[in-house]
Amino acid sequence: MIKKRANINKGAGILFLIFGLLFFIIVVRFITIQVTGQADGVVLAAQAAKQYLRTNILEAKRGTIYDDKGEVIAENVASYTLAAVLDKKMTTDPENPHHVVNPQMTAEKLSRYINMPEEDIYKILTKKGPKQVEFGKAGKDISYDTKKKIEALKLPGIIFMPDSKRFYPNGIFASHLIGYAQKNENDVNSKLVGKMGLEKSLDKYLEGTDGKVSFEGDLWGYLLPGAKKDVQEPKNGDNVYLTIDKKIQIFIEDAMSKVEEKYKPKNMIAIVADPKTGKILGMGQRPTFDPTTREGIEKGWSNQVVETSYEPGSVMKIFTLAAAVQEGVFNPNALYKSGTFYVKGVPNPIRDWNNGAGWGSISYLQGLQRSSNVAFATLLDKIGQDTFRTYLDRFHFGQPTNIGLPNEASGKILYNWPIEKYTTTFGQGTTVTGVQMIQAATAIANDGKMMKPYVVDKIVDPNKNVVKTTKPEVVGKPVSAATAKQVRDYLRTVVTAKNGTGSWYDIPGYDVAGKTGTAQIPGSDGKYLKGRNNYIFSFLGMAPKNNPKLIVYVAVQQPQLGENERESIPVQMIFNPVMKNTLQYLNIKPAKMVETKVTKVPNATNMNVSEAQAKLKDMGLQVEVLGKGTKVVNQLPKQGSTLIQGERIFLKTDGRPSVPDMANWSKRDVMNVADLLDLKLNLTGDGYVWKQSITPNSPIQKGDPLVVNLLPMDKIVEEQAKKKTQVNKGQTQNKQSSNNSSPPLD
C-alpha cells in the first residue's frame, strides 16, 4: 500500500515538472515576442503591413471614350482611398510615428477636407481592435489635389491607397447612352466593370488585361538585392470614338433641362441624326443621371430611345403617306369627307382629333396638314391592307435596328383585327422605339435609302491601331427617290400651311419638313389615360427639305401644361433650338434670302383710285384704300418717302371714309390711318393691333375717337389660341368622347 502511494506521488511530480516546463517556455516565448516584435526571425509588424500593400498585380487602364472630335466623354483618373493606421506597433521610431498619435487633432484637421463631421472621424480613430481603419464613402475617391493638401498637414498615421475611378467630365451628358462603369465596393481588388450603356456593351474592348510582376523577395515580400524581376506588362483597354458630337449633345441637354424645369414631364427623348450616314449625333432623355456620382439613376435605368417601345401617334403618318405615294394612290387634290370613318363590323368610328367634327369635305393634302385620322384610314383602302403591311416591314418596324446598345426593344406591329390595321396608319396600337423612327425617317430624308443608325465610329487600341470601324450601311430601300422627295414636299406644307399642325416648328431661313404626333398612353387597366396632359407629344422634322442634313425627333410624355398653353410648346422648346443651333453649328447656310428692295413713294393724289392702286402694287407696295370714292385726295407716306417693298401705303378717297380691319397691324400703320382720317387716336399697350374700338368698314366722322389695344405678337398668338380653344370647348361640350379603339389624335 505504501509502495503504491509512493509511485503515485512520483508520477504526479513528473507531470508537474513537465507542465511547469511547458508553462515556462510559453511565458518566455510571449515575453520575447512582446519585447522584440519578432517570431522565428520574422518582424511581425512588417508582416502586418504587408497585407496592405499591392504586390504582383499591374492594373490595366480602362479605355477612354471620346466624341467624334476626340473630346473626352469617359476616362480613368487617379483617385485615392484615405486610411488611418491605429496600431502603435507600426511605429519603430518615436520621433517619426507611423500611427495616429493625436486622434482629436487629426479628426479636426481631416474634417476640413472630407465630408464627415469631426466627431464621427474621432470615433473611427479611437476604435479598439482594428490596426487600420477607413472612412467609408467620405474617404473614397479622394482627388490628387485633396490628397496633396492632406499630406501637407503631415498627420502621423494618415495614409493613402492609390486607386483609379471612372470619370465623366461633362456630367449629365447622354448618360444612358454612355452608361457607367464601377468597381465592386466589397472587393478592394476588383476591376472597373461596365454596368450600363456603351460602358457595358463595349466592356470587352474597354477593360484591357491586367499584367503582373514576379520576383524573389525576402521574408517581408521586398525585392532582394540583385534579384531578377519577371514583368508582364498590362494591356490597356481600347479607346472608343463615338459619332456623338459634344456641341450638339449640349444643345440637347440644355433644351431638355429647360423643359424639365418648367413642365416636369414624366419622360422625354430627343435624337439628332445624319440621314446620309445613319450617324447619331446626339441622344438625350429625361429623367437622367450623373454617371460619375450616379445621382438620379434611381429615376430610370433604361435607355428610353432604344429600350422603350410606345405608340408613336401621328408621326407614323409619314410612312403611311410614303406608302400611298409609292403606290400612286395619293392624290393631294382629291376630296374626302373628314370627321368620322366607320370600319366594317366596328360600331364606334375612327374620329378626327377635333372629336370627330372634322372640317367638311377637304383635300387629302389638307387632311395631312390638319393631321386627319380619317384621311389616313381612307388611304388604307386605297393602298390595300396587305400591301401596307409589307411597307411596315420595308421600314423595319417590329424589328430591332441592332444599333449596338444593350436591351434593344423591337416594338410590335399590331395588325390582326380590322380596326388595328386602320389605327396603325395613324400610329395607334402598333408600338415603335425612338431609334426605329429615326431609321425609318432616313429613307424619306435620304432619297429612299434607309440607313442603319449607329453610335460607335471606331475602336482604337493603345498603339493607335484600328480594331473596329463602322461604315454607313444601307439596310433597305422602302421607297424610291422620287417618292421620298414628294413626301418631303408634302411634309413641308405641314409646317407652312395656315392650318398645318407643324407651323410652330418653322425655322426662318431653313425649310423644315416634318410631322407632329399626339399619342394616347395605355393605362394599367388597358384603357387609355384621360386628360389633356396624358399624351406623348412629338415632332419629327428634317432640314433643309430639298437635301436634308439632319433629322431631329423629339417626344415629350405627360408635360404639366398650363390651362391655356399649347400642347406643342414643350416639344417646340426642344426641337427648334436644337435644329437651328445644329444647322448653324454644322455651317449649313440658310436658304438665300430675297434681297430687300426699297422704293421712293410717288405722288398718287388726284389720281383715279384703280390707277393708283395698280401703279403702287407694281412697285411692290401693299395698298390700303380708305373710303369708297374714285379719286385719291391724300396719301401717307407722302411723295418722296422711302418704303421697303411689302410695306403699306394708305390712300384717302373722296368718298365717305371708313376704318379698315387693322388686326395685327403695326403702331405706325395705325397712326397713318388716324392721321389721314383726322381721328382722335388713343393707343394702349405696345406691339401690334389686338382690338380696335371702331368696327371695320363702318362709316366715321372727322374727330371720332379711335381706341386701339396693342399686344406683342406672341401674346396675340396665345390669345388667338385661347379663343379657339374656348370655341372648340363650346362646340364639343355635349358631344360624346371618343372610345379607346379610335381616339381623336392629331
Asked if 708 and 659 count as a contact pair (C-beta separation under 8 A), the reply is no
96, 99, 101, 106 alpha-carbon torsion, rounded to 10°: 110
| Residue 664: count of CB within 10 angstroms of its CB | 15
The tally of CA atoms less than 13 A away on the side-chain side of residue 311 is 24
Rounded to whole angstroms, how far apart are CA atoms 525 and 738? 17
SS3 124: helix
Burial 719-739 (b: 16+ CB within 10 A, else e): eeeeeeeeeeeeeeeeeeebe
Please tell me what DSSP assigns to residue 655.
S
Instruction: Give the CA radius of gyration of the chain.
Output: 39
Rounded to whole angstroms, how far apart are CA atoms 693 and 708? 6
SS3 723: helix
Single-letter amino acid, residue 488: R
Give me the sign of the Cα torsion angle 63, 66, 71, 74: negative
Please identify which residue in the block is written with the cell numbers 491586367: 210
Catalytic site positions:
314
> 44: Cβ–Cβ under 8 A, 6 or more apart, which residues?
33, 37, 38, 89
Find residue 528's DSSP bridge partners: 522
Single-letter amino acid, residue 472: P
Rounded to whole angstroms, how far apart are CA atoms 489 and 511? 10
| Residue of 283, 284, 286 lying closest to 260 (CA atoms) | 286
Rounded to whole angstroms, how far apart are CA atoms 130 and 733? 76
Let me know how many helices (H) and strands (E) the chain has, helices first. Answer: 21, 33
Query: Helices 118-125 and 103-110 meet at what angle, rounded to 10?
Result: 140
Rounded to whole angstroms, how far apart are CA atoms 403 and 717? 42
Rounded to whole angstroms, how far apart are CA atoms 166 and 180? 8
